[in-house]
Structure 1
Amino acid sequence: MTFSVIARDAATGDLGIAVSSCILAVGRAVPTVRPGVGVIAVQARSRRGLGTSLLAGLADGASPQDLVRRAAHAADDADRQIAVLDATGRVAADTGPGSLPTSGHVLGEGFSVQGNMLASPDVLPAMAQALGATGGALADRLIAALTAGQDAGGDLRGRQSAALQVVSGTPDTEDDDGVRVDLRVDDSGDPVAQLRMLRNLQRAYDERDYETLAVFAPEGARDLYAALAASRRGDRAAARSALEAVRARPGWSTWLTSMAGDSRLAGVSRLLE
């Protein structure tokens, strides 16, 4: 009923998972992640809590292979499908004998793709190929793999939800929780495309791409990003007009005053002085 990919970025050590399914809120059901420990995918009719127990096993020092082997011998998990990746890139997976039709997994160096109730046997090879052929950040490679799986047929029953999580390969600290990406599409006619859009939007926030945010940010904030974008490109008239529109909204003028020390707004605010 689901297809997913787990992987480690060899360059950064980041760990991640992307998943899609024809169920509501798959991000609640399949992924279990912890910075510096690993990533677990639990699918098909796996028992509740299996992901948590597998992650605890990784934290205690067990290998992915040992954890998967133990789960494979559990009589009450004949319908399970699991994949386990640790912080060093070791990976193991298993598709139980009772899993739904057109099921399986493909293992590679530092990754695994897995799925069940698939529309085509081409889904998993397409995902593995896309993951290896795509450059850039781990989040983008995971989405490329998920997109390839969807394009190859995806879930036999259709599509409803998707999720993407990327965490650091080192443990979280008081200054850094280790979460790099955490996005979910709980109910959509095209969840993978929606997830890709959210990823692009997050990138715009992270990289301060004000031109993009002026179009795709929430409506109430678009004028602010338009002012920042115009200021960056030296268009004083457009920046002034956009900032005047922001200040005209109830409460926003006070907020802008409180942000006077912010380097992003200082230059724009001076246009209205």
Structure 2
Amino acid sequence: MTFSVVARDPATGDLGVAVASCILAVGRAVPRARPGVGVVAVQARSPRGLGGVLLAGLAEGTPPADLVRRAAHAAGDDDRQLAVLSAAGEVAADTGPGTFPVSGHLVGDGACVQGNMLASSEVLPAMLDALGRAAGDLPDRLLAALSAGQDAGGDLRGRQSAALLVVGGRPETEEDDGVRVDLRVDDSGDPVAQLRMLRNLQRAYDDRDYDTLAVFAPEGARDLYAALAASRRGDRAAARGALEAMRERPGWSQWLAAMAGDGRLAAVTRLLD
């Protein structure tokens, strides 16, 4: 009823999992991750708490193959599907014999794709091939795999939700929680496409792409990003117009005054002096 991919970036050590399904809020059920430890996907009829147990086992140093073997052969459970990837890139997966067909998994180098109740047997090979061919960083490659799976038919029942979770290869610290990407689409007619849009929006925030944010950020903040974009271009008139539009809104003048020390807004106000 779900298809997913887990992978490690050998260059950065980042670990990620992406998933799509025709259930509500699949991001709540399938993907789990812990920085510096690993990522897991627990799907089909795997119990919700299994993801935490698998991550705890990884943290204790148990190899993924041993964890998967134990979980897959629990008494009376033949309809589980799971994949486990360690911070070192070791990966193991299992598809129970009672899992709804078309189902299965394919293990690659530091990666694995898995799915059940798929529209065709082409879904998983398409995902693994796309993961290997895709350019960009790990979140982009995971999304490429997810998109390829959807294009090959995806979940037999249709589309509803998707999620993308990427963490660092080192344990979290007080300064860095280790979470690189954590995006979810809980209910959508095209959740994979919507997830890609969210990824692009997050990239714009991370890269301070003010021109993009001036168009796609929430409406109330667009004038702010328009002012920042104009400031970066040295466009005094456009920056003034965007800033004046912000000042006309109730409460925004006080907020702008409070943000006077922010380096980005200082660049705007210098243009207006």
TM range (shorter): over 0.9
Check conservation: 2:16, 2:166, Cα contact below 8 A. Answer: yes
What are the Cα deviations for residues 223-263 of structure 1, in whole angstroms up to 9, with x where unaligned? 01001111111211111101110111111111111111111
Give the Å deviation of 1:48: 2.5
Q: Distance in 1 between matches of 2:209 and 2:251?
A: 25
Q: Where does residue 34 of structure 2 map in the other structure?
A: 34
Q: Distance in 1 between matches of 2:116 and 2:269?
A: 55
What 5-or-longer segments of structure 1 have no aligned partner? Answer: none
Q: Where does residue 208 of structure 1 map in the other structure?
A: 208
Give the Å deviation of 1:63: 0.3
1:253 aligns with 2:253: yes
Q: Where does residue 242 of structure 2 map in the other structure?
A: 242
How many residue pairs get matched? 273
- Partner secondary structure for residue 228 of structure 1: helix
What are the Cα deviations for residues 24-72 of structure 1, in whole angstroms up to 9, with x where unaligned? 0000000111001000100101123111111111111100011111122
Tell me the TM-score normalised to structure 2 length.
0.98
Check conservation: 1:37, 1:58, Cα contact below 8 A. Answer: yes
Tell me the TM-score normalised to structure 1 length.
0.98
Q: Distance in 2 between matches of 1:261 and 1:195?
A: 34
Give the Å deviation of 1:269: 1.5
- Partner secondary structure for residue 169 of structure 1: coil
Give the Å deviation of 1:76: 3.0
Q: Distance in 2 between matches of 1:228 and 1:118?
A: 46
Cα RMSD for the two superposed structures: 0.8
1:182 aligns with 2:179: no
Runs of 4+ in structure 1 deviating by more than 2 angstroms, as ranges, are 270-273
Q: Distance in 2 between matches of 1:73 and 1:131?
A: 29
Q: Distance in 1 between matches of 2:257 and 2:137?
A: 37
Q: Distance in 2 between matches of 1:271 and 1:259?
A: 16
Check conservation: 2:231, 2:271, Cα contact below 8 A. Answer: no
The residue identity in structure 1 corresponding to 2:50 is: L
Aligned residues with identical type, % of pairs: 79
Q: Distance in 2 between matches of 1:192 and 1:224?
A: 29
Q: Where does residue 121 of structure 1 map in the other structure?
A: 121
Q: Distance in 2 between matches of 1:168 and 1:77?
A: 32
1:1-273 equivalences under 5 Å are 1-273=1-273
Q: Distance in 2 between matches of 1:150 and 1:254?
A: 47
Check conservation: 1:47, 1:77, Cα contact below 8 A. Answer: no
What 5-or-longer segments of structure 2 have no aligned partner? Answer: none
The residue identity in structure 2 corresponding to 1:49 is: G
- Partner secondary structure for residue 76 of structure 1: coil
Q: Distance in 1 between matches of 2:72 and 2:20?
A: 24
Q: Distance in 1 between matches of 2:225 and 2:44?
A: 43
Question: Greater CA deviation, 43-52 or 154-163?
Answer: 43-52
The residue identity in structure 2 corresponding to 1:245 is: A
Q: Distance in 1 between matches of 2:29 and 2:10?
A: 27
- Partner secondary structure for residue 106 of structure 1: strand
The residue identity in structure 2 corresponding to 1:199 is: R
- Partner secondary structure for residue 228 of structure 2: helix
Q: Distance in 1 between matches of 2:267 and 2:48?
A: 53
- Partner secondary structure for residue 184 of structure 1: strand
Check conservation: 1:159, 1:190, Cα contact below 8 A. Answer: yes
Q: Distance in 2 between matches of 1:126 and 1:98?
A: 24
The residue identity in structure 1 corresponding to 2:96 is: G
- Partner secondary structure for residue 112 of structure 1: strand
Q: Distance in 2 between matches of 1:10 and 1:120?
A: 30
- Partner secondary structure for residue 221 of structure 1: helix
What are the Cα deviations for residues 95-135 of structure 1, in whole angstroms up to 9, with x where unaligned? 00100010000100000000000001110001001101011
